[in-house]
Chains A and B, each alone.
Chain A
Amino acid sequence: MAKRETPEVNAGSMADIAFLLLIFFLMTTTMDTDLGLARMLPPPVPEDEEPPPPIRERNVFEVLINANNQLLVEREPMPLSQLKDAAKEFIENPHNLDNLPVREEIEVPIIGVIETTPNAVISLQNDRGTQYQMYLAVQNELSAAYNELRNELAQREFNMDYADLDTERQRAIREVFPQKISEAEPRNVGGGR
């Protein structure tokens, strides 16, 4: 019997396939970057300093979280899903209501004179027993409220998303809606051990 020649698989294009896969993975994998909610802490208060003057109640949006991860917003229980819209309503005060922050005209570079609520402050208090995830979710919803308001304003003024604007326009928009989330000096709100 004649010896049969073994057919060889052509491997010349194997390298091409390998490179194709390599490039595919290079493009699709994201580097493990550290993501997080950025915040600024207030500087420490000197002990002999006098307490700051009280803020008018209509300018404060009070959010309390107890040890059972329940929310009390402006003295009313509220599910987390409604917090963002309530915060937006408070910050913007679109219907100029008496119990929401005072609307004032301020002058902002680029945008010009605009009516907004410069004194609105969100006050956040949590208990020592609050779960970290819940606290962060609340922080997240409040950030989302500010981000949406800024985005809406950016769309109205510049027809662009806030994230796509240049730094000066972003600064102008931040001046209209400054993120003011104040956290009270820690104490037990209730239900903690």
Chain B
Amino acid sequence: MAKFKKKKGGGGQRINTASLPDIVFMLLFFFMVSTTMKEVELMVQTTLPEATELTALEKKSLVTYIYVGVPMRQYQSTHGTEPRVQLNDQFASVDDIQSYIIQERESMRESERPLMTVSIKADYDCEMGIITDIKQALRRSQALRISYSSRQAEDLTYNY
């Protein structure tokens, strides 16, 4: 058809780049919104287990995290390959949990202290022994509201 004229000669045409800033800003906004700040540097591998009946933890300020898992490769030479507990930015033993919980509770507002929730972010392949020890330590320190952090699964299909 006559309307489609064949262009003569290659190159030389400049595409207007006035909207490039828009695109860049768009991407910037997107990443700003969708990323959540990492609070601590993870030193243990935690692949969360899956579950279907989940509830969301609403207020971030009420939540204290306990990470459990096998140390990352760069820490394995010093901390072994057995599942370890991580509190804040360092490896800890189960005995440290009690003082950690008390310290975290002290830093909360008094009215919020009864609502304190401990989120256990543990690797799916951990043995229950360490989890049970943590639960006992939490009971001793009167931190009774807990949440087993897990991923949303559509359906739990197991081979067991």
Q: Which A residues contact B (CB, under 8 angstroms)?
A: 4, 6-9, 11, 14-15, 18-19, 21-22, 25-26, 29, 31-44, 69-71, 79-81, 126-137, 139-141, 143-144, 147, 186, 192
Contact = CB atoms under 8 A, between A and B. Distances in A.
Contact of B33 (A14, A26, A141): A26
28 contacts: A4-B9, A6-B12, A14-B22, A14-B23, A18-B22, A18-B23, A25-B30, A33-B56, A34-B56, A34-B119, A35-B151, A36-B55, A36-B147, A36-B148, A37-B150, A39-B148, A40-B145, A44-B140, A44-B142, A126-B132, A128-B128, A129-B127, A131-B124, A132-B124, A136-B49, A139-B148, A140-B53, A192-B129
B151 to A, nearest CB: 7
A19 B14 CA distance: 24
Nearest to B140: A44
Contacts of B143: 41
Contacts, number: 167
Interface residues of B, number: 61
A interface SS class: mixed
Contacts of A81: 158
B72 to A, nearest CB: 18
B interface SS class: mixed
Interface in B123-151: 123-129, 131-132, 135-136, 138-140, 142-151
B128 A132 contact: yes
B16 A19 contact: no
Contact of A8 (B16, B19, B49): B16
B18 A11 contact: yes
A119 B12 CA distance: 84
Given A38-B55, A39-B148, A128 B132 contact: yes
B76 interface: no
Contacts of B14: 6, 8
Interface of B: 8-9, 12-16, 18-19, 22-23, 25-26, 29-30, 33-34, 36, 49-57, 60, 63, 117, 119-120, 122-129, 131-132, 135-136, 138-140, 142-152, 156, 158, 160
A34 B16 contact: no
A7 B117 CA distance: 63
B128 A130 contact: yes
Contact of B29 (A22, A126, A128, A139): A22
A42 B138 CA distance: 10
B145 A186 contact: no
Contacts of A6: 12-14
A15 to B, nearest CB: 5
A57 B144 CA distance: 28
